[in-house]
Structure 1
Amino acid sequence: MSQDKIDIKDVTPKTYNPKTHKGQGDRFNPNNRIYVRESKGKFQKLRRYGGWFLLLLFGLVPWVPFGERQAILLDIGSQQFNFFGTTLYPQDLTLLATLFVIAAFGLFFITTFLGRVWCGYLCPQTVWTFMYIWFEEKLEGNANKRRKQDSNKLTAQLAMRKTLKHLAWIAIALATGFTFVGYFVPIRDLVVDFFTFDASFWPVFWVLFFAVCTYGNAGWMRSIVCLHMCPYARFQSAMFDKDTFIVGYDVERGESRGPRSRKADHKALGLGDCIDCNLCVQVCPTGIDIRDGLQYECINCGACIDVCDQTMDRMGYPTGLINYTTEHRLSGHQTKVMRPKLIGYGMVLLAIIGLFFAQIATVDPVGMNVLRDRSQLSRENSSGEIENTYTLKIINKTQQSQSYDLSVTGLDDVSWYGKQTVQVAPGEVLTLPMSLGVNPENLSSPVSTIQFILSDSEQFTVTVESRFIKQL
């Protein structure tokens, strides 16, 4: 068996006793509610500040203007993707695909190195869930109080508190729906049209759809999403090895666990440093007991580390009984940070990032497509010339109005019928019908290759190849 393979442990859930807080609830039962106890500490501070930063970034970006439009607007209806001064079109979507590949390999690299740190600190499900729990704590009380209240009859005061909580949850859900849809529809118009009932069906539908999803996932489902719906928890085992940093419990130091007096010599009593307070279970958002070993449900949020360190401080023991560590370190071996799998992910990630910036550098500020009229290959006009008809589509990808000059090469004495200088607004796709006429004596073959040339004031040119057909 490979030395890198992580041992499988039996972590069958125990029955939770709400009176003694012993054991853990059946975390595989969707009807079981997990009352997450508040946890404070350096890792929770990092998670909280990181979550607020991402929330503010998510909420403010759609409101940032750039010229006459949003700085970032993924306008699917117009098939335009605006990023500050650059407008991308469907033919530029290889950039978006490359960005997704970067995100995937970045996730692979981080997971191999730091485990499910994405889940614990950056995942929207975690950020929104902890935000909803914060409102729950402020309006209904701490975890023990909420558990006791929910086991008793509903009072008028509790009903009012729960109503306020759900109203706050709904407000956050609606704000989330507006913000998310605001990346695809101009958000200022969206908000005004929504509340004046002038919005069309689909924007309203998607705002309400994402609001309902946010309310359900963060308010009610919570850990169920992580345990039963998220695919990341399933395929992370392919990236984990015994040198991956995880949240781990030091069995050698902690066992045998058991309560004791703070002044007692626990070594003389045959006890380890774990006092079996079960606080690590009570603060876990997925309801697991980290002392049972590595489990895929652990999201590496570090809540159990903070609360255990505080307990160790109160007992006068060294901190780190639960810590970010590796399976190798827990078993007394040395951790190998630089290993082939991690290096491989890193090299691929750097290569794709380089490709991404190379693609950005080659994005043209203007694009042109040439469509030849296929309904009539050619015709003879009143001047005796052979005439071919074309449709030029000119795309201005900049955020400023541009003037373009048009010309053609490949044939002698070509007559241009149509505009040769055009003005194109920012982000506009201009459709320009035009024709070319050539004296038959200048056509040496039935089909001639020609090049349409577009140039701007900065001498940037785009050349598109087409055909001129002589045969009538």
Structure 2
Amino acid sequence: MSNPEVAVIKMYAAREEIYPREVKGRYATLRWLCVWLTQLVFYGLPWLQWNGRQALLFDLGARKFYIFGIVLWPQDFIYLAVLLIISAYALFLVTAVAGRVWCGFACPQTVYTEIFMWIERKIEGTRSARMRLDKQPWGIDKLWRKTAKHLAWGTVALWTGLTFVGYFTPIHTLIGEVSSLGLGPWEWFWILFYALATYGNAGWMREQVCKYMCPYARFQSSMFDKDTLIVTYDTERGEPRGPLGKKGAAAKVVATATATATAAATAAVVAANASVTTKTTGDCIDCSMCVQVCPTGIDIRDGLQYECIGCAACIDACNSVMAKIDLPAGLIRYSTDHAIASRWSIGQMRARVLRPRVLIYTGILLLIVTAFVVSLALRTPLKMDVIRDRGAMGQEVEDGMIENVYRLQIMNTQEESHHYKISVSGIDSIALVSPDTLVMEGTGARAVPVRVRVDHGEGKHGSNKIKFTLKATDGADIEVTEKAVFFVPHEDDRD
């Protein structure tokens, strides 16, 4: 009896290296504009100054978030939560209208991958040169190119990690600590952690992050409909695929270029077919340029796929080929399923933007943004919490008066200092017997003990509702009132 054959079943497909070709065009220019804009903001914001301090600083140690002229405290966490909700709804709205344009143009993974690939091209060469370099045995040329590339990647990653930590530790202080090697353990950890994440995600994992790690690719379909703008291939116009009608050598060049997918062969395809006038197939000449430029390695001609990040690199590549063979652009373009199926004009496609889903997202987003702005504008820049001393439930002092002791937790959220006066009300004879004025420094917090008394016989036995008021006396229109309880003990309970 022969031994049964053992079959090895792999639970996942091994990653195939992707070598995206450099592409030029309208969308490539727009993508690089987004790279410059996002990185100028990210690397530049920590260096901006506002009122003598860092304009944008999340000071976790002091529990204060500085956002230009606004100072947020832990009690203001609701504003940060609302900002996240606004960002989420804005992403939903953009996705419903224009698909994954965020992924293709502004997502940090896309931006840093674009930067790292630019470094790779400058050091290792074009797509075909990189493919040859990876296949050749190790030597001096391969060693220095690979070393230089990874050193450049590491430098960018470390500076990115340093900038990231600079949003939580003042950047000038951080630079001084780095130069003197005086960083704390947590600062070292987060700089190296964020640097490693940037280096690994943008340098090594690249499309794997978009395809397998990012949840957005998985649930984007719930926000898509037939009128969502996506990167589409015009099947009716492009099929059947095939080289342009040309006899002899031209057809051979086309076949060779398609098989090897090298830069020289692809150029030969375009040159050999430039003067062709006979054509019996669709407009797609099957040059595979749309596949070669795709950062996730998909073929857009197979239809919409979750791996597509909407970067439009295939549109630029296809349009450049169409221009060289005297065919109209737009074989691959931004369009919608309905527009492609019904052959709609641009005007008809734009008319479908204002559909119920988009209007609902827009309405909710405007409502939340309006409420957020109004709430932030009307926010009182003074906070006070009243805490009664529970160790003494109310005691009788001289002349039979009843005294309660409180602690006022006061926070001045403005960066200017103010003079304040404390007052109390709620019982006829109630009064403060402790100092009733104080000065609060800018963005400061203080616990102020106060003693409150009422005359004998005033107030009912047990709890009495009172109010503490804190009001600016230096001309600023700032006032805050908080409720509290004054306890009057029974006769048998008095000292």
Aligned counterparts of 1:206 and 1:188: Cα–Cα separation in 2: 17
Question: Is 72-81 or 163-172 further displaced after alignment?
Answer: 72-81
Aligned counterparts of 1:353 and 1:128: Cα–Cα separation in 2: 30
> Does the alignment pair 1:284 with 2:268?
no
Other-structure match for 2:314: 304
Match of 1:459 among 451, 460, 477: 477
> Does the alignment pair 1:98 with 2:82?
yes
Higher Rg: 2
Other-structure match for 1:428: 444
**Is contact 1:176–1:210 with CA below 8 Å preserved after alignment?**
yes
Q: TM-score, normalised by structure 1?
A: 0.91
Q: CA deviation at 1:130?
A: 0.3
The one-letter code sitting in structure 2 at the alignment partner of 1:380 is E
> Does the alignment pair 1:469 with 2:453?
no
Q: TM-score, normalised by structure 2?
A: 0.86
Show the 5 A alignment for 1:25-424.
29=13, 31-260=15-244, 261-267=273-279, 270-332=280-342, 334=344, 335=349, 336-382=352-398, 384-424=400-440
The one-letter code sitting in structure 1 at the alignment partner of 2:482 is V
Q: CA deviation at 1:244?
A: 0.7
Other-structure match for 1:20: none
Aligned counterparts of 2:441 and 2:153: Cα–Cα separation in 1: 43
Question: Is 417-426 or 276-285 further displaced after alignment?
Answer: 417-426
Query: SS where residue 450 of structure 1 aligns?
Result: strand
Aligned counterparts of 1:252 and 1:119: Cα–Cα separation in 2: 28
The one-letter code sitting in structure 2 at the alignment partner of 1:310 is S
**Identity across the alignment (%):** 44
Q: CA deviation at 1:416?
A: 2.2
Query: SS where residue 451 of structure 1 aligns?
Result: strand
Aligned counterparts of 1:373 and 1:347: Cα–Cα separation in 2: 48
Aligned counterparts of 1:377 and 1:338: Cα–Cα separation in 2: 63
Question: Is 188-197 or 105-114 further displaced after alignment?
Answer: 188-197
Q: CA deviation at 1:38?
A: 0.5
The one-letter code sitting in structure 1 at the alignment partner of 2:470 is L
Q: Deviations over 1:234-271 (max 9, x none)?
A: 0000011111111011111111112233323343xx21
Q: CA deviation at 1:274?
A: 1.0
Query: SS where residue 457 of structure 2 aligns?
Result: helix
Q: CA deviation at 1:29?
A: 4.2
**Is contact 1:449–1:465 with CA below 8 Å preserved after alignment?**
yes
Gaps of 5+ in 1: 1-27
Alignment RMSD (CA, Å): 1.6
Aligned counterparts of 2:156 and 2:417: Cα–Cα separation in 1: 39
The one-letter code sitting in structure 1 at the alignment partner of 2:123 is L
Query: SS where residue 273 of structure 1 aligns?
Result: coil
Aligned counterparts of 2:420 and 2:408: Cα–Cα separation in 1: 12
Q: CA deviation at 1:298?
A: 0.7
More helix by share: 2
Gaps of 5+ in 2: 1-11, 245-272
Query: SS where residue 16 of structure 2 aligns?
Result: coil
Aligned counterparts of 1:445 and 1:379: Cα–Cα separation in 2: 12
Q: CA deviation at 1:337?
A: 2.3
**Is contact 2:460–2:488 with CA below 8 Å preserved after alignment?**
no
Aligned counterparts of 2:419 and 2:142: Cα–Cα separation in 1: 67
With over 3 angstroms needed to count, the CA separation of the structure-2 counterparts of 1:384 and 1:201, relative to structure 1, is: farther
Question: Is 340-349 or 329-338 further displaced after alignment?
Answer: 329-338
Query: SS where residue 87 of structure 1 aligns?
Result: strand
The one-letter code sitting in structure 2 at the alignment partner of 1:231 is P
Show the 5 A alignment for 1:12-31.
29=13, 31=15
Q: CA deviation at 1:383?
A: 5.3
Query: SS where residue 167 of structure 2 aligns?
Result: coil
Question: Is 87-96 or 320-329 further displaced after alignment?
Answer: 87-96
Aligned counterparts of 2:73 and 2:190: Cα–Cα separation in 1: 23
Aligned counterparts of 1:50 and 1:64: Cα–Cα separation in 2: 21
Aligned counterparts of 1:218 and 1:452: Cα–Cα separation in 2: 56
Query: SS where residue 400 of structure 1 aligns?
Result: coil
Query: SS where residue 314 of structure 2 aligns?
Result: helix
